[in-house]
Chains A and B, each alone.
Chain A
C-alpha cells in the first residue's frame, strides 16, 4: 500500500505562482476527488506531481512512501508508481499505440527481462475490449487523429496496463459522452483496490456518479479550501461554488487574472506596435 503526501506545495510558471500551499495525503485504497472552478490550479497540481518541465516548485514537499518525488525525473516518478491520466495527451506520429505501451511496460521490468509478447497481447486485447475501443487501436499511431473520447479512453487503457500505485486522472471526463463516461467510470471502479490510490480532478459531479470518492476537496486560489465527503458534491451540484466563496470570504477564486492584451487596430503595423516602435 502506497502513500502520497503533498506538503505545503508551492509552484510557479513564468514567475507567476499558481500553487500556494497545497496539502494532501492519498493512501492506497482511497479515492480522492478535487473539484473547483476553472483556473484554480487543479491541473497544475497534477502536472507538478508528475514533473512537467514547465512548472517550478518553489516550496514544499511531495513524498511517495517517504521518497522525495520532487528530486526524481519524470520517468523515475512513473516507475516509482505515479500515473497521470492527462487532460490533453501529446500525439506521437509514427509510433503505434501497442509499441508504445509495450515499451512502457518493459521500462518497468528489470533489465533484459521483457514482458512476454504473448502475455502482452492477451492483456492488451482484454483491456481494449473492456474499454469498448476499436480493434484497430494497437496499429494506430499514438493519439494521432484520435477523437477527444478516444484519447481519454487510451489514457485509461494505459492505466490498466501499467498498474500504478497512485493514479491521478486529470479531467478524464471532459470530452466524453454519457456512454463513454460510463465505460470509463466502470473500468476505473473495477481497478479500485487497496493497492491503488486515486485522485480524480474534475469540474463536474457526473464523473463521481460512476466512481465514488471517499474524500472530496475543493480547490480555489491555488490551495485546497474545503474538504468533505460525497455530500459536498451534492451541495456543489445544487448550489454551485458561491456558498463556499461566501463562507470563506473569497471574491475571486482564480489564482491569477490574465492581463488583457492590448488591442491592436487592424490596418496598422501590428509588429511595430507590439515592439513599441
Chain B
C-alpha cells in the first residue's frame, strides 16, 4: 500500500504516541533491565536485542555495569550512528551533524574501535578508510566519494574500516601529518581561503572545549600577531587592545604551525571545494608570493599593520603556557615550542584540557546533559583519570559515563 494511504490512520495513532511520550518523561527510577536498556540506547543509539538486554542486565545485577557498557559497544550502531554523529560536527564550521561521512569522522571512529591512544587523533600519521574488499572508489585527496559510498552502502563501520598511514594517501610527508587536522575534510572545512586560523580555532573548540573567547588573555606578549590583524579596527584601537589581542597573542603563534598548508580549489567552478585538495609545501617547494615555504595566506593584508609579525617559517610557540591559560594543563615533558603541525597538535592533545574535553563530550553524549553539580564535576574528574590510565581509550570514557548515567 502506498504510504499516503496510511496517513488516514495517523489521526488515530497520534494520541497513542503522545500518551507514551508523556508517560515516559516522568520516569526516573530503573532496575537493572531498565538500566541496561538505557545504557544500550545511549551507547549504541538503538535498542538491544532481548538476548543482549538479558546479558547486560545480568552484568549490571552482578555489579559489572562496565562490562555491560562494553557489550553495548559491540553493536555496530555505536560506530555507525553514535560515534559518527559525535564526530561529524567537528568536521565543519557550521558544526552540523548533517554532513556525509568523511575521512575525519572515519578516523575518529577507527581510533575508538581499535582502542588506540585517542590523543593521536590530532597528531598521528593515521587515517581510516573502507576495506578494499567492498569494492568502493579508492580514497581520493580530491573528493569525498570514497566515504560517501561507504556510508550510503549501509556498510558497518565497525567491520569495514581499516587503518592506513595517512601519508600514503594524501601525499604529504609522514612528519607533516597531524591526524584529523590534516585530513581532507578538515582541510576543506578549515584551510579553505582565510588564514588557517579557522583550523586552529575549531580544533581547540572541538578538542579542548574552549572557544577563543574563553581563552582570551590580554596579558600575553603580542609580538607574534600577524600583520593582517588591524590594530585599530574602524579607527578604534580599544577594540584591539581589549579584545582582539587577547585571542591573537595566543592563537597566532600556535597557528604558525600550519604555515605550509593550504587547500586548493577552483573558486569559479567549485566554490565549495568539493573537488579541492590539501597542499603542503615540503622542503624545496617555494611559494611564489612569499618566496619561502610559507603559504601566501600567511602574508595577506600585510598593510593592515605593517609592524606586525611576518611569518617566515612554521615555528610555533605556546604562549598559553604563561598567564591564565596555564590552567589548560600543558604537558611539562614537552617543550612548548616546535615546528610544524604535528608537534603543535601533540602540544594540544597532551594537555589536561584535551582529556577532560573528550570526557565532557562523551558524558554529554551518553548522559544527554551537561554536568550540573559537584557530584557530576567530581565524576568528570574520575572519568578523566580513568581515561588517562586506560591509555586514552575513548571506549573507557563511554563505559564510565554510561555506568554513571544508567539510572538508579
Chain A complexes with chain B: no
